[in-house]
């Protein structure tokens, strides 16, 4: 153990948080306008496309207000179609165009897993990128899902926000309208900007076949290329995370420079953070949005700092060897196994934290090779249920579920039937919120138990000792919380893991979406109680602290034994030497 | 106390325990460890024992049963207290025979039937010496009734038909005269019956917030059940990977489970509910449902009748303001004369003031040979005709009209005075003799001395107080500002009251009100929380969801506090219960994996002596904390009138932060004690 | 509730429209813009020799284990190190004995190639990169190898250092990332294929 975070490290972390938070108001305000159907500067550009879509689909954006059940059915039907289409694209990619490498169709279990993975915005990567996916599959299959699965998340979030802000209403908006607007006004323009910025930095964008280079040492080297920039941009922005290449954003052609890295890692948290402000605008009380953003940030920043510090501390096992792990102006130092030179420690740990705080799951370094406690940070951030910023849409609606549970406990403590934004939180709401809270925990605990108890599950484990347990735990946690990052040593492309994790992803996504929409419907139907001195304020420091406390305690209590048996044991084993 | 202990043990009945999923899990766990203990008694090296020492399994089993017993004990104590109250209530519901009538008109022909056969709508007669067999409304007659069995108030009260006092309660006793009563409740549904069932847990309906909380507790229980159940495969796997140690035992898993699931709140939940209702009864309020009590805690608008609640019931004359050219004494004399036959408190106060100020002699009305003009709704004046002197008193406009008919007029000074008094919240009473206006009597509403502080408390709790009065807006405004209410509804009629409440509710407010008269019934029925005075009419009592036996209009404030306290106690103990888990993990996890992963000993921050003592200490702490919190559950978390934010920060500090820290200390102390007696 | 059929029309309609827009138009437009504006980058930042044959990519590392070349990071790509067709990290855990073996193996190789060098070895030179294709090493790791390269090539250390210096990039915008040396560029310079 040598050192803490470097001066430049602090600077980079501060810069990141500053830029991220600076984007919250403009982007959040813009999204609020979009989802409230107001005119924006994009309306003249793409308004015709929106109208055309409604005409073709027979949707009247002003009249077709859906009940929560209709909204849920639309969500499910749309996702089911997306799932089926993607599944068949993958299975039959050998028959489809844009396949210069003549890659074969995917196996049914891998196709199932990948379809589940992308439709649920998890983007767990059981496939190998450049060795598995044709350009057609990447574009028409994966890129399309990278747009529409976060758009579904945004739609569900907007429905929940409407539930909180409407009074005695049966409708919570129109799914098609919300989803289409999310795609064409929010995701598409942002993706185009980011794709071009990344392309200028060296991210490839071509339909040519892979290149063969004759190297200096005289051997042939295959260099995989493809239409990566367009896919990487939306993979980051849509908290998707499924990489174009196998090693995701650690790949130099997917993430070539520190500047590209900054844009990509900023894109991870950009929309989820800004949505807090959107929420504040839409419920007509910006303080509510700020307090949620504050709670997220309060949980995120210490864990981020802890992760950077742990990685910068290096691997004590190397102490006996003749290795220099100290950071200096000539080298990043620290635990560099699985990390890229251009990113060093700070940007790797920053990415690891951001990608798991959001349900992104892309990586720019190999989490499996992190120090035990450094690797526990992404694990823990996923275990929070992907609500610390979280996925696009899904992060905030998951967070609002936790807010509702917090309001319930705190509300009882002030002697009133708990209420949030004037909506009374009663048994139905608690029932739905409890289901949404329980689902990831149930999936992770049972899924991990199944994996460690079966031969097939154990067979995938790569690293020895307690770290093998962490690998399985990480995989199931990732799938059960729709993150998608991995301790990639685990051989997960097997029928067993493809099925287990695919099921986890589907359950986790839709068994949270349905209760969330039910919650939205129930809340929309309620009256709004006016605020008074007897109302529990949900925008002050005390509430933020309570919310943070509830999230941390609930998560820690659920996962202490697993964390103890994995990373904690590893850590003590490591420092014991 | 013996009954309480007996009850605690009798409740170890699976059917009974199954009603509470948290405690049921403890129950199942206790049975399993008992089984393991039994097996180990026969074969100490049985696999199921996992190599744990017999004494350890025995002690864990012992304490698990005690956890259960302690929870039962809490409930039994609460119920025991409730039972005492219920019994005294039940005594008044004795089985008597009722005199049932066929026709209202003929009260002599009646049929003797048992009280419990009476149905809603039956007509009965109750005569001197009879017990009233059921709740009802007096249709005919007047009687003095001893209601001490219900209210505890020994002075008899008058019950009569037609007025604001037409309600009789079952179990009370008619002392004199007779009344014909229409029965208003079926057997088992009277106020008394409902109240009894609220304090007897067997029939207790869970309140809405209690149901919501139970759902949350069930969700947490599911999580912890899974945490413990999956720990077994994890342990098996870890032992295999580490190549060392032994797998976690069932006994330890059950111990961990019982420590993690919210037994503290789970065990005390029904005790909290029962004792909340008891506090209500102690305040002499009968609620029709627990829901109403909870709703009282949510109220954010309180409608208070001015008269009797904010001010003393009657206005009093405090000053005479003569018209120009008239002396004060002239005015006083004329006023006194005009009020001689006026038996209202206001009238009497005029007489008293006039005599006091000017030493007027006592005189007997009958000696004057005067004609009295009684107050009539059309004329809105009253007075006296004595020797051609027509002395009238009444509202300014009414007097002005009469004087004008007689060719007189109201001097400008008097008009100014009238407005002035009204503005100060007083009631101006104009006095005129024939066509001449003599002046104005200032009748003042006396605001109760303590009301201002209570209303300020309400405001701190976020409850708006609205004064309801028949007065004109000017008068109402003055009293409102003197008493410190937030708003007022002047010139209120039953219709405007109802409209006002609806308006409030459409804005999302929860409205509480107190009422007594029949004309209050629609407003009471519309209110979310409605407290009817016991002295009030049957219509009012039926429309309300609570009855105040003391007929004290300020009682509503106490009810609100009881409602809030009930929720606060539940919330605080839930927080405490969950916060406790952190320390238990620190005690149990290193101990449970001591053989597989000795490095986890680093997590033993409390420095507990041995794995066995650590687990045992956590289990014992978990059981004892239930006992320790019984008084709090019964008494309720201390309530103070203050804003929600302040209340939350205090409760969070005490029960949240305290809940995290307390078990670290408690478990350490128990561990030291266990070590001291050699159990480590 | 609406019928399933009335849900199907917008479901299929939006799926088709969005697939065309996001899976077709969007990547095509992106490709068009990048091929026009940043052609070299869009094609993979390839380096060609004088005949136009591809030597490699500036962004993709190559395997160097001959003493006259600057060595890069360890690579754990599929089948062979620096396989640009199958990127992969080592995924070895911090406590994994295999990690210790790999590190020790690299230390041995470094020491064998340069027995006199007693300086502590910069950590990035003995650890595998995340992609297995890392084109860069830290300036410290480059500097560590100067003596060996100079000796193997029989040139002065200053020449090697200058080649390294020319291929060294500071942090982007002065803040972002880490200072780094492009290994392939250095070796091209040393071989005289790049000025």
Annotated domain spans of chain C: 2-40, 45-190
Residues 226 through 265 of chain A touching chain C, CB cutoff 8 Å: 227, 229-231, 233-234, 245-247, 250-253, 256-259, 261-262
Of all residues in chain C, the percent with pLDDT exceeding 90 is: 90
How many Cβ pairs within 8 Å bridge chains A and B? 211
Between C80 and B171, the more confident residue is C80
Cα of first residue to Cα of last residue in chain B, in angstroms, is: 35
Q: What is the mean pLDDT of chain B?
A: 85
Between B309 and B38, the more confident residue is B38
Say what the pLDDT of residue B3 is: 77
Residue C62 to residue A250, Cβ atoms within 8 A: no
Residue C101 burial (10 A CB sphere; 0-12, 13-18, 19+): exposed
Three-state secondary structure readout of B111-125: EEEEHHHCCCCCEEE
Residue A245 to residue C172, Cβ atoms within 8 A: no
How many helices (H) and strands (E) would you count in chain A?
20, 5
Whether B and C touch, i.e. at least 3 CB pairs below 8 A, reads as no
Residue A330 to residue C1, Cβ atoms within 8 A: no
For B387-403, what is the mean pLDDT? 85
CA nearest to B425, candidates B336, B558, B524, B318? B318
Residue B208 to residue A452, Cβ atoms within 8 A: no
Distance separating alpha carbons of residues C62 and C60, to the nearest angstrom = 7
Say what the pLDDT of residue C3 is: 66
Residue C7 to residue A73, Cβ atoms within 8 A: yes
Do B49 and B60 contact (CB within 8 A), yes or no? no
Distance separating alpha carbons of residues B230 and B225, to the nearest angstrom = 9
The set of residues, in sequence order, having a beta carbon less than 8 Å from that of B662 and lying 6+ positions away, is B580, B625
Residue B202 has pLDDT above 60, yes or no: no
Residue C176 to residue A258, Cβ atoms within 8 A: yes
Residue B316 has pLDDT above 90, yes or no: no
Q: Give per-residue pLDDT as tens, C5-57.
A: 788 999 999 999 999 999 999 999 999 999 999 999 999 999 998 888 999 99
Q: Would residue B177 show up in a list of annotated catalytic residues for this protein?
A: no
Interface-testing mutation among A383, A410, A412, with chain B (most B C-beta atoms within 10 A) = A412
Residue A235 has pLDDT above 90, yes or no: yes
Residue A2 has pLDDT above 50, yes or no: no
* Helix, strand, coil percent content, chain B, rounded in steps of 5: 55, 15, 30
Residue A254 has pLDDT above 60, yes or no: yes
Between B166 and B652, the more confident residue is B652
Residue B571 to residue A557, Cβ atoms within 8 A: no
Task: Give the confidence band of B388 by pLDDT, cuts at 50, 70, 90.
Answer: confident
Between B331 and B515, the more confident residue is B331
For B39-56, what is the mean pLDDT? 87
Q: What is the mean pLDDT of chain A?
A: 94
For B234, name the nearest residue in chain A, comparing CA atoms only. A449
Residue A417 to residue B236, Cβ atoms within 8 A: no
Q: Tell whether B591 lies on the interface with A, counting CB pairs under 8 A.
A: no
For A328, name the nearest residue in chain C, comparing CA atoms only. C140
Say what the pLDDT of residue A111 is: 95
Residue A199 has pLDDT above 90, yes or no: yes
Between B162 and B36, the more confident residue is B36
DSSP C111-180: HHH-TT--SPEEGGGTSB-SSS---EE-HHHHHHHHHHHHHHHT--HHHHHHHHHHTEE--BTTTBS--E
Does residue B472 sit in helix, strand or coil? coil
The set of residues, in sequence order, having a beta carbon less than 8 Å from that of B406 and lying 6+ positions away, is B434, B435
Task: Give the confidence band of C139 by pLDDT, cuts at 50, 70, 90.
Answer: very high
Q: Which residues of A touch B455 (CB under 8 A)?
A: none
Q: How many CB atoms are located within 10 Å of the residue A120 CB?
A: 30
The set of residues, in sequence order, having a beta carbon less than 8 Å from that of C11 and lying 6+ positions away, is A74, A77, A78, A81
Q: Which residues of C touch A67 (CB under 8 A)?
A: 1
Phi, psi (5° rounding) for residue A410? -65, -35
Do B398 and B381 contact (CB within 8 A), yes or no? yes
DSSP A253-281: TTS-SHHHHHHHHHHHHHHHHHHHHHHHH
Identify the weakest region by mean pLDDT among A38-42, B430-434, B472-476, C176-180: B472-476
Task: Give the confidence band of B171 by pLDDT, cuts at 50, 70, 90.
Answer: confident
Say what the pLDDT of residue B19 is: 79
How far, in Å, are B472, B486, B504, B636 from residue B476 at the CA level? 6, 12, 20, 38
Whether B and A touch, i.e. at least 3 CB pairs below 8 A, reads as yes
Distance from the Cα of A284 to chain C's closest Cα (Å) equals 30
Say what the pLDDT of residue A441 is: 94
Distance from the Cα of C147 to chain A's closest Cα (Å) equals 17
The count of residues in chain A is 577
Q: Which residues of A touch C4 (CB under 8 A)?
A: 73, 77
Q: Which residues of A touch B600 (CB under 8 A)?
A: 564, 568-569, 572
Q: Tell whether A56 lies on the interface with C, counting CB pairs under 8 A.
A: yes
How far, in Å, are A206, A222, B45, B244, B593 from residue B239 at the CA level? 51, 44, 20, 6, 9
For B459, name the nearest residue in chain A, comparing CA atoms only. A533
Q: Which residues of B touch A564 (CB under 8 A)?
A: 589, 593, 600, 603
Distance from the Cα of A372 to chain B's closest Cα (Å) equals 14
In this complex, which of C38, C121, C123 lies closest to A199 when CB atoms are compared? Answer: C38
Between A453 and B278, the more confident residue is A453
Q: How many CB atoms are located within 10 Å of the residue B250 CB?
A: 19
Dihedral in degrees, nearest 10, Cα atoms B646, B649, B654, B660:
170
Task: Give the confidence band of A1 by pLDDT, cuts at 50, 70, 90.
Answer: very low
For B605-629, what is the mean pLDDT? 94
Identify the weakest region by mean pLDDT among A115-124, B35-44, B158-167, C164-173: B158-167
For A381-394, what is the mean pLDDT? 94
Task: Give the confidence band of B151 by pLDDT, cuts at 50, 70, 90.
Answer: low
Say what the pLDDT of residue B534 is: 76
For B539-559, what is the mean pLDDT? 78
DSSP A134-150: -HHIIIIIIIHHHHHHH
Task: Give the confidence band of B152 by pLDDT, cuts at 50, 70, 90.
Answer: low
For A294-303, what is the mean pLDDT? 97
In this structure, are strands B546-548 and B529-533 parallel, antiparallel, or unpaired? parallel
Distance from the Cα of A101 to chain C's closest Cα (Å) equals 11
Say what the pLDDT of residue A64 is: 85
Cross-strand pairs, B533: B548
Distance separating alpha carbons of residues B204 and A206, to the nearest angstrom = 72
Q: Which residues of B touch A560 (CB under 8 A)?
A: 585, 589
Whether A and C touch, i.e. at least 3 CB pairs below 8 A, reads as yes
Distance separating alpha carbons of residues C108 and B607, to the nearest angstrom = 45
Q: Tell whether B537 lies on the interface with A, counting CB pairs under 8 A.
A: no
In this complex, which of A405, A413, A446 lies closest to B648 when CB atoms are compared? Answer: A413
Residue B576 has pLDDT above 90, yes or no: yes
Q: Give per-residue pLDDT as tens, A518-570.
A: 999 999 999 888 888 788 889 999 999 999 999 999 999 999 999 999 999 99
The set of residues, in sequence order, having a beta carbon less than 8 Å from that of B392 and lying 6+ positions away, is B338, B373, B381, B382, B383, B399, B402, B431, B432, B433
Given B193, B305, B552, B671, which residue is catalytic? B305
Residue A388 has pLDDT above 80, yes or no: yes
Residues 504 through 563 of chain A touching chain C, CB cutoff 8 Å: none
Distance separating alpha carbons of residues A231 and A141, to the nearest angstrom = 11
User: What chains are in contact with A, requiring at least 3 Cβ pairs below 8 Å?
Assistant: B, C
For A415-421, what is the mean pLDDT? 89
How many helices (H) and strands (E) would you count in chain B?
24, 20
Identify the weakest region by mean pLDDT among B142-151, B238-247, C183-192: B142-151
Does residue B594 sit in helix, strand or coil? coil
Say what the pLDDT of residue B122 is: 86
Q: In this structure, what DSSP letter does residue A420 have?
A: E
Cross-strand pairs, B142: B160, B178
Interface-testing mutation among C79, C95, C167, with chain A (most A C-beta atoms within 10 A) = C95
Residue A442 to residue B581, Cβ atoms within 8 A: no
Q: Any idea what the Cα angle at residue B116 is, between residues B115 and B120, rounded to 5°?
A: 90
Of all residues in chain A, the percent with pLDDT exceeding 90 is: 88
């Amino acid at each position: 153990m040598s050192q803490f975070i470097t001066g430049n490290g602090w600077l980079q972390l501060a810069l990141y948080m500053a830029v991220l938070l600076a984007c919250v108001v403009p982007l959040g305000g813009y999204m609020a306008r979009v989802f409230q159907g107001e005119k924006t500067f994009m309306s003249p550009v793409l308004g015709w496309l929106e109208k055309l879509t409604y005409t073709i689909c027979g949707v009247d954006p002003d009249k077709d207000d859906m009940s929560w059940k209709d909204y849920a059915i639309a969500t499910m039907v749309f996702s089911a179609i997306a799932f089926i289409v993607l599944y068949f694209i993958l299975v039959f990619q050998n028959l489809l165009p844009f396949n210069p490498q003549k890659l074969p169709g995917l196996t049914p279990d891998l196709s199932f897993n990948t379809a589940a993975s992308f439709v649920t915005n998890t983007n767990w990567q059981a496939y190998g990128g450049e060795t598995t996916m044709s350009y057609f599959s990447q574009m028409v299959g994966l890129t399309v899902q990278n747009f529409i699965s976060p758009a579904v998340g945004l739609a569900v979030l907007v429905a929940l926000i409407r539930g909180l802000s409407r009074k005695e209403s049966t409708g919570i908006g129109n799914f098609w309208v919300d989803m289409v607007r999310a795609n064409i006004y929010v995701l598409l323009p942002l993706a185009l900007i980011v794709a071009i910025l990344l392309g200028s930095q060296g991210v490839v964008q071509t339909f040519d076949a892979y290149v063969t280079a004759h190297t200096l040492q005289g051997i042939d080297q295959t260099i995989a290329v493809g239409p990566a920039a367009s896919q990487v941009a939306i993979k980051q922005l849509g908290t998707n995370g499924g990489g174009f290449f196998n090693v995701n954003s650690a790949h130099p052609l997917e993430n070539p420079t520190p500047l590209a890295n900054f844009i990509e890692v900023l894109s991870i948290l950009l929309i989820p953070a800004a949505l807090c402000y959107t929420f504040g605008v839409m419920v007509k009380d910006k303080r509510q949005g700020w307090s949620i953003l504050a709670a997220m940030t309060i949980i995120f920043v210490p864990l981020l700092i802890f992760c950077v510090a742990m990685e910068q501390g290096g691997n004590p096992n190397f102490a006996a060897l003749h290795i220099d792990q100290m950071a200096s102006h000539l080298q990043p130092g620290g635990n560099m196994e699985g990390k890229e030179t251009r990113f060093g420690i700070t940007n790797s740990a920053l990415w690891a934290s951001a990608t798991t705080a959001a349900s992104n799951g892309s990586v720019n370094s190999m989490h499996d090779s992190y120090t035990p406690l450094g690797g526990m940070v992404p694990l823990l951030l996923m275990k929070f249920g992907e609500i610390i910023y979280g996925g696009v849409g899904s992060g905030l609606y998951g967070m609002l579920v936790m807010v509702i549970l917090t309001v319930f406990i705190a509300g009882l403590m002030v002697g009133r039937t708990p209420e949030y934004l004037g909506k009374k939180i009663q048994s139905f709401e608690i029932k739905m919120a409890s289901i949404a809270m329980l689902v990831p925990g149930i999936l992770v605990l049972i899924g991990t138990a199944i994996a460690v108890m079966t031969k097939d599950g154990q067979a995938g484990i790569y690293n020895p000792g307690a770290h093998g347990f962490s690998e399985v735990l990480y995989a199931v946690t990732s799938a059960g919380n729709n993150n998608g990052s991995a301790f990639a040593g685990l051989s997960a492309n097997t029928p067993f893991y493809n099925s287990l994790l695919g099921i986890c992803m589907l359950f986790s996504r839709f068994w949270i979406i349905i209760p969330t929409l039910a919650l939205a419907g129930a809340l929309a139907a309620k009256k709004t109680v006016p605020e008074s001195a007897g109302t529990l304020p949900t925008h002050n420091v005390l509430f933020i602290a309570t919310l943070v406390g509830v999230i941390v305690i609930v998560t820690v209590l659920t996962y202490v034994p697993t964390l103890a048996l994995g990373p904690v044991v590893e850590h003590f084993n490591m420092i014991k030497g | 106390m013996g009954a309480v202990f007996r009850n605690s043990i009798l409740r170890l009945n699976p059917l009974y325990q199954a009603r509470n999923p948290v405690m049921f899990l403890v129950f199942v766990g206790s049975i399993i460890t008992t089984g393991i203990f039994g097996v180990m008694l026969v074969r100490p090296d049985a696999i199921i024992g996992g190599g744990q020492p017999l004494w350890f399994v025995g002690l864990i089993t012992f304490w698990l049963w005690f956890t259960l017993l302690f929870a039962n004990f809490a409930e039994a104590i609460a119920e025991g207290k409730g039972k005492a109250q219920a019994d005294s209530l039940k005594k008044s519901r004795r089985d008597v025979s009722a005199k049932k009538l066929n026709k209202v008109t003929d009260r002599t022909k009646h049929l003797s039937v048992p009280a419990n056969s009476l149905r809603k709508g039956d007509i009965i007669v109750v005569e001197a010496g009879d017990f009233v067999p059921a709740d009802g409304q007096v249709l005919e007659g007047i009687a003095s009734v001893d209601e001490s069995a219900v209210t505890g108030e020994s002075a008899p009260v008058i019950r009569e038909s037609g007025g604001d006092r037409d309600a009789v309660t079952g179990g009370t006793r008619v002392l004199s005269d007779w009344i014909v009563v229409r029965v208003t409740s079926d057997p088992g549904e009277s106020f008394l019956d409902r109240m009894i069932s609220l304090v007897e847990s067997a029939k207790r309906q869970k309140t809405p917030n209690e149901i919501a909380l139970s759902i949350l507790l069930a969700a947490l229980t599911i999580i912890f059940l899974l945490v413990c159940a999956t720990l077994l495969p994890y342990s098996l796997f870890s032992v295999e990977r580490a190549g060392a140690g032994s797998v976690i035992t069932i006994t330890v898993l059950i111990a961990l489970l019982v420590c993690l699931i919210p037994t503290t709140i789970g065990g005390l939940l029904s005790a909290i509910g029962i004792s909340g209702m008891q506090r209500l009864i102690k305040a002499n309020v009968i609620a029709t449902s627990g829901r109403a009590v909870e709703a009282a805690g949510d109220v954010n608008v309180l409608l208070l009748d001015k008269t009797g609640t904010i001010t003393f019931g009657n206005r009093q004359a405090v000053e005479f303001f003569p018209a120009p050219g008239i002396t004060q004494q002239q005015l006083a004399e004329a006023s006194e004369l005009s009020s001689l036959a006026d038996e209202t408190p206001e009238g009497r106060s005029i007489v008293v003031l006039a005599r006091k100020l000017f030493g007027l002699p006592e005189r007997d009305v009958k000696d004057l040979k005067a004609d009295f003009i009684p107050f009539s709704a059309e004329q809105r004046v009253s007075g006296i005709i004595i020797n051609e002197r027509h002395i009238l008193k009444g509202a300014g406009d009414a007097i002005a009209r009469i004087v004008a008919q007689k060719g007189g007029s109201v001097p400008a000074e008097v008009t100014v005075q009238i407005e002035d008094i009204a503005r100060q919240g007083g009631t101006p009473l104009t006095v005129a003799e024939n066509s001449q206006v003599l002046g104005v009597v200032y009748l003042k509403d006396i605001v109760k001395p303590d009301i201002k502080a209570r209303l300020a408390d309400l405001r701190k709790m976020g409850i708006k107080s609205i004064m309801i009065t028949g007065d004109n807006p000017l008068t109402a405004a003055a009293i409102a500002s003197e008493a410190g209410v937030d708003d007022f509804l002047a010139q209120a009629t039953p219709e405007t009251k109802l409209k006002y409440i609806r308006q409030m509710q459409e804005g999302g407010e929860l409205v509480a009100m107190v009422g007594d008269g029949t004309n209050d019934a629609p407003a009471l029925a519309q209110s979310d929380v409605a407290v009817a005075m016991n002295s009030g009419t049957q219509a009012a009592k039926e429309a309300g969801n609570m009855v105040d036996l003391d007929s004290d209009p300020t009682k509503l404030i106490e009810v609100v506090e009881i409602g809030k306290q009930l929720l606060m106690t539940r919330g605080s103990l839930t927080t405490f219960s969950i916060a406790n888990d952190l320390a238990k993990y620190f005690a149990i996890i290193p101990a449970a994996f001591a053989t597989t992963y000795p490095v986890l000993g680093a997590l033993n921050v409390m420095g507990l002596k041995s794995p066995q003592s650590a687990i045992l200490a956590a289990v014992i702490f978990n059981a004892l904390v239930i006992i320790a919190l019984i008084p709090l559950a019964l008494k309720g978390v201390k309530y103070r009138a203050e804003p929600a934010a302040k209340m939350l920060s205090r409760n969070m500090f005490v029960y949240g932060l305290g809940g995290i820290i307390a078990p670290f200390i408690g478990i350490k102390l128990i561990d030291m004690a266990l070590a001291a007696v050699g159990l480590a | 509730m609406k019928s399933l059929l009335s849900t199907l029309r917008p479901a299929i309609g939006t799926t088709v429209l969005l697939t065309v827009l996001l899976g077709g138009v969007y990547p095509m437009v992106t490709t068009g813009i990048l091929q026009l504006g940043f052609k070299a980058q869009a094609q993979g930042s390839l380096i060609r020799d004088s005949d136009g044959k591809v030597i490699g990519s500036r962004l993709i590392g190559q395997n160097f284990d001959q003493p006259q070349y600057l060595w890069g990071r360890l690579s754990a790509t599929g089948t062979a190190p620096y396989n640009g067709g199958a990127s992969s990290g080592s995924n070895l855990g911090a406590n994994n004995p295999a990690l210790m073996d790999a590190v020790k193996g690299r230390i041995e190789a470094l020491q064998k190639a340069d027995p006199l060098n007693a300086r502590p070895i910069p950590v990035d030179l003995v650890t595998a990169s995340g992609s297995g294709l890392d084109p860069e090493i830290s300036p410290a790791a480059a500097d560590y190898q100067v003596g060996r390269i100079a000796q193997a090539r029989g040139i002065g250390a200053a020449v090697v250092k200058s080649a390294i210096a020319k291929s060294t990039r500071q942090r982007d915008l002065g803040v972002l990332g880490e200072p780094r040396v492009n290994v392939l560029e250095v070796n091209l310079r040393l071989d005289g294929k790049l000025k």
